[in-house]
Chain A
Amino acid sequence: MSSSTVSLRQGAPRPAGRRGPRFGAFEPWFYLAPAFIVLIGLLGYPIFQLVNISLYDYRQAQVSGAAPLEFTGLGNYQQLLSDPQFWAVLGNTVLFAGFCVVITILVGGWLAVLATRLRPWVRTLLFVVSMGAWATPAVTGSAVWLFLFDPTLGLVNKTLVALGLHAFDGYSWTYDKWSAFGLVASEVVWCSFPFVMVTVYAGIQAIPTEVIEAARLDGASMGQIARTIMLPMLRPIMMIVIIQSIIWDFKIFSQIYIMTSGGGVAGQNLVINVYSYQQAFAASLYGLGSALGVIMTVILMAVTLVYLRLIKKDGEAL
């Protein structure tokens, strides 16, 4: 990433020749320093320490200084990779996050398109309630959904039983692995589709009407317009919402922790974050927990890297 080849697409950088009288070439650094010091201290250093701890046998006795530290190299990773539970948890995480991302994007994208065809008051209504869902904290959202699906007191079971489906009397939605994941996924989609909808809607609005009009006059069909004009123009926006969704859904903690009370029956609903938390803070295997954290960070950084490559390929400047 050499800076000399980058041209600025927007904004107005100060011409290099005009510098502030007091700080000279250091002027931008004066503005940057506070933020970057904080970032180094609170993101950079902890990442270093995370990797560091993951290379040690680091348990309660080591933390309190009662036993000597033992450098085990990749021992924690070896232990994880040979543990079938780790692979099960990783599989859960990927499947669960993937499912949430796909559904969120589909629902959010579809609603954004639908919104363009709604009467203004209906659209306003849809956006206002969506913002309500968006603004709902994970903890309270989880609580409400859990209540709706409560085995005995929940509205959903009551309604199903009233409809004659007596099998749902006292039915526990968190007992079966997939119905538990489905329940959590519903909550996740509910509170994350609005971001996709609003962003994509803004993207659609930004497409000049003339372009579409012109295409239509040229006899292009609706499908052609969507495929050849709108999708390419929405590509950057779709990319960011997809990447953001992947990152958000991959690191979900609160919803799983609360709705499946810490990972479900026999740990069937564990995802990597909850698993890491349990290994570290409940079982005091801090080294192992850190190794899990490193693995998650590496996976998400890989996703980010793909994103950066795509930006570059698109010729977008930073």
Chain B
Amino acid sequence: MKISRLAAAVLASAALGLTACAPPTAGGGSASTKDETGGTLRVWLFSEVNQDPKSAVVNDAIKDFEAAHSGAKVDVQYIPTDSRAERFKAAFNDPSSAPDVAEFGNTDLANYVAAGGLADVSDVVKGWDEGKDLDPKILKTTEIDGKNYGVPWFVGVRALYYRTDLLQAAGLKAPTTLQEVETTARALRAKNPGTLGIAVGGKSQFSAMPYLWAYGGGIADQQNGKFASQLSSEKSKAGITAYTNLLNDDICPPQTCAEFGGNATVQQFIAGKADMAIGGDFNYKAVAAAPAVKGKFAVIPVPGTTAGSIAPAFAGGNNLGVFKSSTHRTLADDFVKLLAGKKYQQKMFQAMGNLPTFADVQKQVAGDNAYLKPFVDTIAAGTDFVPVTEQWATIDAQGIFTGMYQKVASGKSTVDQAAADATTAMDKVFGSGK
């Protein structure tokens, strides 16, 4: 009888737990020993502002893959980046529910590795004929303690998009310093009241970081193996002030902009509702194809505090990794090699504008596509990164960094107060990471 079996199951599991008084600890750490050659390969990729081209390329890859691996099926799920933390945690906690392959941001890598969720793919990269062409600097970002935990899929840096037509109409030139970005944005909004002078967001942390770094500030420093927040330093506060000055009624009203994430700001630009925006190379295709701004925009590196300088950009990038718990390890490796391989990186570049991670492919596309210049220049000028520690993902999930900007933008706190609160909260997380 079904019910009694159910009751028995519940009883059994209750008894299982009761014998041990401590909370359960088994799980995620152990690698799967199974390696099935058939069945469903589950893949998680991020959903995008402009989803269709990505799906199209991925579907092609799946077709290729399924043709080459009979008996294997690929099930792709596009997950929103907002809720990725919960999803990945859950997958690490219950290996049997985890996918086999996932796309993940390089900022999360340290945390995922610490959680014991990702498989070491060093050998996959070494034994792969295309692997030697991967840009060593980029490959290095997937490394922890000398092991690679992902294959770099694309890199992304952000630059300043602006509307050439509106600037011209207002008799303005492209800004050459961050201060000029602010004045230009204010002038543009004054001239075009229905639009945002520059689309920035309270939750769009990667456009806030260049400000922080350009003013000489930083998120956190590592001393004696321990991180300490630097947000309260005078230089950091100058950067925070400069960014939050944009979140103002005469540029980007907090009413509208405080809730924006990075995607939302780009979406505003695409819709023609913003005069400028900080967007990535991976947004270029979508912007260039948008009817509202087509042929009416240009891109330059985000300027620094002095004319001619470039603000350090956040070195973004996404990897493809394999879950340690995957029961289809060989298939998973093969799929990663296919999707992150030269052929599909090129296709992804064509579809999305994602900058390839193979040195030769990157050079070739940069040569063929003049529009990539500002992004390549930005990379050459030097980039920066979030603290490489497992705690960053917690800080991110708790919204400590973005919360600081939102509090200032919405007038709930002064810069001093918000920076001090964020410092305390961040140090608490760093401190608890024994």
From the candidates B11, B82, B406, B434, name the one contacting A37 in the complex (CB within 8 A).
B11
Selected contact of A282 from candidates B26, B89, B402, CB within 8 Å? B89
Q: Given A37-B10, A41-B13: A63 and B406 within 8 A (CB)?
A: no
Among the stretches A119-127, A139-147, A170-178, A194-202, the one at the interface with B is: A170-178
Asked if A301 is at the interface of the complex by the 8 Å CB criterion, the answer is no
- Measured CB to CB, the nearest residue on chain B to A172 is B255
Question: Using an 8 Å CB-CB cutoff, how does the interface string of A257-291 with B read, 1 for contact, 0 for none?
Answer: 00001100111100000000011011111100000
Given known contacts A41-B10, A41-B14, A63-B28, A284 and B394 CB-to-CB distance under 8 angstroms: yes
B403 beta carbon closer than 8 Å to chain A: yes
Question: Contact: B18 with A45, CB < 8 Å?
Answer: yes
* Interchain CB contact under 8 A, B86 and A40: no
The verdict on B136 contacting chain A, using a C-beta distance below 8 Å, is no
CB distance from B410 to the nearest CB of A (A): 6
Instruction: Given A58-B23, A64-B27, A175-B259, answer yes or no on A284-B89 (Cβ-Cβ < 8 Å).
Output: yes
Q: Is B398 an interface residue (CB 8 A)?
A: yes
Given A60-B89, A63-B27, A64-B115: A49 in contact with B3 (beta carbons within 8 A): no
| Complex Cα spacing A61 to B10, Å | 27
Query: Does B412 have its Cβ within 8 Å of any Cβ on chain A?
Result: yes
Chain B hits for A206, CB < 8 A: none
Please determine whether A283 and B13 come into contact, CB atoms closer than 8 angstroms.
no
**Which residue of chain B lies nearest to A56 when distances are taken between CB atoms in the complex?**
B23
A90 near B: Cβ within 8 Å?
no
| Chain A residue with Cβ nearest B85 | A282
Cross-chain contact A65 with B25 (CB below 8 angstroms) = yes
Interface status of B44 (Cβ within 8 A of chain A): no
- Chain B residues numbered 189-214 whose CB sits less than 8 Å from any CB in chain A: 202
CB atoms of B22 and A265 under 8 A apart = no
Question: Out of A38, A63, A281, which one reaches B7, CB within 8 Å?
Answer: A38
Q: Is the CB of A175 within 8 A of B410?
A: yes
Main secondary structure, interface of B, reads helix
Q: Are A60 and B92 also in contact (CB < 8 A) when A52-B22, A281-B86, A283-B85 are? A: yes
Whether A261 and B259, one on each chain, are in contact in the complex, defined by CB atoms closer than 8 angstroms, is yes
B309 CB-CB contact with A under 8 Å:
no
With A41-B11, A49-B17 already in contact, the answer to whether A281 and B89 are too (CB < 8 A) is yes
Q: A64-B28, A278-B398 are in contact. Are A265 and B89 (CB under 8 A)?
A: no
A171 to B256, CA, bound (A): 7
Q: Identify which of residues 59-89 in chain A touch chain B, using a CB-to-CB cut-off of 8 Å.
A: 60-67, 69, 71
**A71: chain B residues within 8 A (beta carbon):** 22
0/1 string, B262-274, CB within 8 A of A gives 1:
0000000000000
Query: In the complex, how many angstroms separate the beta carbon of B9 from the nearest chain A beta carbon?
Result: 9
Give complex CA distance A279, B85 in Å.
Answer: 11
| Choice from B29, B256, B398 contacting A283 with Cβ under 8 Å | B398
Query: Are A265 and B258 within 8 A (Cβ)?
Result: yes
Closest B residue to A279 by CB, please name it. Answer: B398
B399 & A66 in contact (Cβ 8 Å cutoff): no
Task: Give the interface residue-count category, chain A.
Answer: 35 or more
Instruction: State the CA gap A19–B304 with chains docked (Å).
Output: 89
Check if B254 sits within 8 Å of A175, measured CB to CB. yes
Check if B26 sits within 8 Å of A65, measured CB to CB. Answer: yes
* Nearest CB in chain B: distance from A41 CB, A: 3
Closest to B395 in A: A283
CB-based contact B116/A266 at 8 Å: no
Q: Are A151 and B256 in contact (CB under 8 A)?
A: yes
Is B407's CB within 8 Å of the partner chain A?
A: yes
B93 & A175 in contact (Cβ 8 Å cutoff) = no
Whether the pair A266, B403 counts as a contact (CB closer than 8 A) is yes
A20 within 8 A of partner (CB): no
Q: Compute how far the CA of A45 lies from the CA of B9 in the bound complex, rounded to whole angstroms.
A: 14
Asked, given contacts A40-B14, A52-B23, A282-B397, whether A265 binds B259 with beta carbons under 8 Å apart, the answer is yes
Closest residue on chain A to residue B93 by CB atoms:
A63
Assembled-state Cα–Cα distance A62/B93 (Å): 10
Whether the pair A64, B403 counts as a contact (CB closer than 8 A) is no
Q: Which of B4, B22, B29, B259 contacts A64 (CB 8 A)?
A: B29
A267, B89: Cβ atoms closer than 8 Å: no
| Cα(A151)–Cα(B257), bound, Å | 12
Query: What residue of chain A has the Cβ atom nearest to residue B26's Cβ?
Result: A65
Q: A261-B259, A266-B399 are in contact. Are A42 and B25 (CB under 8 A)?
A: no
Contact B116 A69 (CB under 8 A): no
Give, as a whole number of angstroms, the nearest-CB distance from A166 to chain B: 11
> From B24, which residue of chain A is reached at the shortest CB distance?
A63
B114 within 8 A of A: yes
CA distance A37 to B12 in the complex (A): 11
Contact B25 A63 (CB under 8 A): yes
Q: Chain A residues with Cβ under 8 A from B114's Cβ?
A: 60-61, 66
Chain B nearest Cβ from A51, distance in angstroms: 10
What CA separation (Å) do A151 and B259 show in the bound complex?
Answer: 12
Which of chain B's residues have a CB closer than 8 A to the CB of A38?
6-7, 10
**A65-B27 contact, Cβ under 8 Å, with A34-B7, A267-B403:** yes
- CB nearest neighbor in B for A50: B23
CB neighbours (8 Å) of A40 from chain B are 14
In the assembled complex, the Cα of A56 lies from the Cα of B4 at a distance in Å of 34
Which among A45, A175, A261 is the interface contact of B17 at CB below 8 angstroms? A45
B27 / chain A contacts, CB cutoff of 8 Å: 63-65
**Contact present for B410 and A262 (CB under 8 Å):** no
Known contacts A49-B17, A262-B82; A69 and B93 CB within 8 A of each other: no
Nearest CB of chain B from residue A55's CB, rounded to whole Å: 9
Does residue A53 face the partner (Cβ distance < 8 Å to B)? yes
B90 at the interface (CB under 8 A from A): yes
Which of A's residues lie within 8 Å of B, judged by CB?
Answer: 34, 37-38, 40-42, 45, 49, 52-53, 56, 58, 60-67, 69, 71, 151, 170-172, 174-175, 261-262, 265-268, 278-279, 281-286
Interface pairs (8), CB distance under 8 Å: A37-B11, A63-B25, A65-B28, A71-B22, A170-B255, A175-B259, A268-B412, A281-B89
Other than the known A62-B25, A284-B394, A284-B397, what 12 A-B pairs have Cβ atoms closer than 8 Å?
A: A37-B11, A41-B13, A45-B18, A56-B23, A60-B92, A60-B115, A64-B29, A69-B22, A71-B22, A174-B259, A175-B258, A265-B406
Binding site for A on B (CB under 8 A): 3-4, 6-7, 10-11, 13-14, 17-18, 21-29, 82-83, 85-86, 89-90, 92-93, 111, 114-117, 202, 254-256, 258-259, 394, 397-399, 402-403, 406-407, 410, 412, 434
6 tightest A-B CB contacts, nearest first: A41-B10, A64-B28, A266-B406, A282-B397, A266-B403, A282-B85
